[in-house]
Structure formats: structure tokens, C-alpha cells
Amino acid sequence: MKPETFWTEQYPPNAGLKTSLKLPETTENLIIGSGYTGLSTARVLSKAGEGVTVLDQNCIGWGASSRNGGMATPGLKQDIYKIYKKYGIDYAREFWKASLDAIDLLEDIITEEKIECDWSRDGHIALACKQSHYDKLPDYANWIEQELGHKKKIVPKEELHSEIGSDFYFGGLSDEVSGGLHPSKFVNGLANSLLSLGVVLCENTKVISIKKLGSSYEVITPKGTIKAGRVVIATNGYTDNLVPKLNPKVFPVGSYIIVSEPLTKDLQKKLSPKGRMFYDSKWFINYFRLTPDGRMLWGGRNDLSTDLDLQESAEILSKEVRSVFPELKKVQFTNTWTGKLGITFDLMPHIGQVDGFHYAFGYGGHGLSIATYLGTEMGLLLTGQKNRSPFEEINHQTMFFYKKDPWFLPFAAKYFRFLDWIS
């Protein structure tokens, strides 16, 4: 398999972008990171008439924004019932609504900016890997409907073939509001829409250091120095030690994906009769879907590490996808790649400010919709169009044992594998 991201091989995220070769001397707003968060923040700020410069150490949209599975589903990384138990029903309802609004926002941006990214809202189904997992679904679905006003449908095992061409699972829970797209096309279209608003996009511009100068910031790069009135950190799983107080708030986790050669129309219809997206009930979650051009995309954590051998990871994922779909045993998988998720200790996304720097991150695999939403939310807060967000009100948990390197991930991985075994 080629160790190349399928999405970007098919459509580079910076294709046709007129990025700036020269760094401006000053800017009202400097955004570090050109993924969904940074570009969405830039969109709101620029529409409000403010000057914006976006920097990325690689090409525009290089990180998780062009590497993910292209799935936008309701909810957050943290289970909504656990959010209710920790924060109460009012916050639970607000966070759930935000996750639904995020999918609608995604669609609105695609429509408004006329972004061609193969957007389709065919829904998804959460699949139970064990009978014990399925047995919990009716109560869970009923609670979501009664308390959150959102309808999900129980799909028992005997009806599962209407949703997926596999006998591997014990039933599922379907949701009609989810959508899928081509992530590299989307991030490219979003970036392109900013150029007409006067946003300056600078690629291959790594920030070396930032100095606070009274009410402004001096940002030093290999291309020169830029003075900014406001700095937004939008690096999520790629956050480094540029702002030391941010580092303990988020840590990277690796996610790995393989994609097949194009499947026949008949095989596509058999594997996914309704064109759904899927994810399973494991702690080490698997997620999968058909790409817009009819390939099987299969992703999973495998481990929590960000530096697994790609070929070894691909072999594990290949065995898993073929155990679910034996029809794919002779189908060639062509690409394998990885990207970094941003995870917080409470598994919640956060908006915040530290030492004058604004940030939003911690999407935990829901970045397509939630990063777009929080980036937009950040822009609305900074321009005074909103005066609060639940994502900035909850306490941002840190752990005393984590400062820079997530040494604890191998131990967490063993624990999650144990949970998958006993659950």
C-alpha cells in the first residue's frame, strides 16, 4: 500500500490557492493553523471587516483537516449521557444541540461558499460489536429522545441487512442527520472562499516564537517577523510547545486509515445499501464508509500512538475490514495514512484564552463538524457577535503527570483493549 493520504493524492488541499509568498508586516488577527478551526475563525473575522493572516508550517489544510474520514455525526467525543451526569441536563442539551448545529453549519458554509466537496447527508449507523452493547441501545435511544428531543432508530440484528451487508454485528442505532464529504476538497474550498475576503494565507511558515509587546504580539518566522493585534492558536492535535501553558491542555492521538480500489456498483450497494457511514462500539473504535468515488475507507485507532509503522497498521486494519466484509478479501487496498487527533483529558472540545492567546481544540475525532463550529464560535466571540459559549464555560481539565510528552498513552491503550475484551 502507498503511504499516502488518499484524499490529498486525489485532490491536494492547496490546489489552485493563491497563497502569499511574502509575510505582511502587520495584521489585526494572526491565526496559527490552517485547518477547519483556523479557516472558520478567519471566515467570521474577515466577514466582520477585520484583517486576518493565517499561517501554516506546511501547506494549507495539511493536517487532520485533509486526513480524516470525512464524517460529520452528532455528539462529541465524550458520551452525551456522561456529559449530563457531570454538567447537568441544561449543559447536556446545549452541547448536543451544538453538535447538531455544527452539521447544519457545515452544510450552510458549503452552500453559501459554493464548495464542491461531494457533500451528502445519508446518515450513519452505530454498530454493536457484542450483544451486551446492543442491549444498552434501547434505553440510550429513549433517553436521547426524551431528554434531548432527538430521534434515533433501533435496528435489530434481523433487520441489519437493510443497513449493512455484513453478519458481523448484533444490531445498531441509526441517525439520519449525519453527513459525509471529501475533506481535502472541503478545506480547499473553505480556504479559497477566504481569498476573496482579503484573508492572507501563508504556507510553509513555521512560527518559531511569539513575544508579547504590550497590547500586541511579535511573531517570528523564518520568513520574517509579523506584528499582530490578536493571536489565535488553531493547531489541535498538532499543538506544540509554542505556548507552554497550552501544551498540557491537549495531547495527540493517532488515527489510521486505509482505502481500497474502486468497488463495483453492485458491491457498493451490497456493503452499504443506503450509503450510510458507520462506526462500531469498541473503545478502539473502527469507522468506515464508501468514498464519493466508491472505495471502502476503513479507519481505526489501532493504538493511541501517533507513530505506528504504517504498513503494520494497514495489515491490522485490512484484517478487521475483511472480517466484517469477507467480500473484500480479494479487493486491493491502495493507500494507508495517519493523522493526529487532539484529545483533552475530559474528552471535551474547549474554547479558551491563556496568556492572551486564544485557542480552540480537543475535538477527539469529531473535527469535521465540531472544529468548523468552534472556529466559527471563536470568531463570533472575538467580534462580539456572541457573548458566551458553553465550550468556554466548562473547566478545562489538566493532569499533573502531563506536561509535554504523552508517555501514558501505551498504558491507556492496554486499558482500553482490556475494556474491549470484558465489555
d(CA 360, CA 366): 13
- The pLDDT of residue 179 is 98
Residue 302: its pLDDT value, please?
A: 75
Using N-to-C axis directions, what is the helix angle for 89-112 and 80-87, rounded to 10°? 130
Q: For residue 188, which of 362, 10, 330 has the smallest C-alpha distance?
A: 10
Three-state secondary structure call for residue 312: helix
The model's confidence at residue 397, banded by pLDDT at 50, 70 and 90, is confident
At 255 the three-state DSSP class reads strand
Instruction: Give this prediction's pTM.
Output: 0.96
For residues 4-23, average pLDDT: 95
Q: How many CA atoms lie within 13 A of 65 on its CB side?
A: 35
> Is residue 273 within 8 Å of residue 265, measured between CB atoms?
no
Using DSSP's 3-state secondary structure scheme, residue 71 falls into strand
- For domain 6-417, the CATH superfamily is FAD/NAD(P)-binding domain (3.50.50.60)
Mean pLDDT, to the nearest integer, of 202-223?
95
Mean pLDDT, residues 175-190:
98
Q: Please report, as a single letter, which amino acid is at residue 236.
A: N
Among residues 266, 275, 353, 260, the alpha carbon closest in space to that of 71 is found at 275
Predicted pLDDT of residue 287: 97
Q: Which residue has the cell 493572516?
A: 53
What CA–CA distance (Å, rounded) separates 319 from 323?
A: 6
Check: CB of residue 103 under 8 Å from CB of residue 367: no
* Residue-wise pLDDT tens digits, 302-334: 788 998 999 999 999 999 999 999 999 999 999
Q: Place 201 in a pLDDT band, splitting at 50, 70 and 90.
A: very high
Cell 455528539 found at: 75
Which amino acid appears at position 268 of this protein? Answer: Q
Q: Are 169 and 160 in contact (CB under 8 A)?
A: yes
347-390 residue pLDDT tens: 999 999 999 999 999 999 999 999 999 999 999 999 999 999 99
Measure the N-to-C terminal CA separation of the chain; round to a whole number of Å: 33
Strand extents, DSSP E, 110-207: 124-127, 153-156, 171-175, 179-180, 200-202
DSSP-assigned letter for residue 14: T
For residue 121, the model assigns a pLDDT of 97
| Residue that wins the pLDDT comparison between 302 and 176 | 176
Q: Do 394 and 84 contact (CB within 8 A), yes or no?
A: no
Round to whole Å and give the CA distance between 210 and 359: 15
> Residue 5: its pLDDT value, please?
97
pLDDT at 423: 87
User: What confidence tier does 400 reach under pLDDT thresholds 50, 70, 90?
Assistant: confident
CA angle 410, 412, 413 (to 5 degrees): 65
| Amino acid identity, position 25 | E
Q: Which three cell numbers stand for residue 246?
A: 497550552
Q: Which of 195, 246, 186 is nearest to 53 (CA)?
A: 195
> 257 falls in which pLDDT band (50, 70, 90)?
very high
3-state SS assignment for residue 343: strand
3-class DSSP state for residue 332?
Answer: coil
pLDDT of residue 401: 87
Strand pairing partners for 213?
216
Task: Flag whether pLDDT at 161 surpasses 90.
Answer: yes
Query: What mean pLDDT, rounded, does the chain reach?
Result: 96
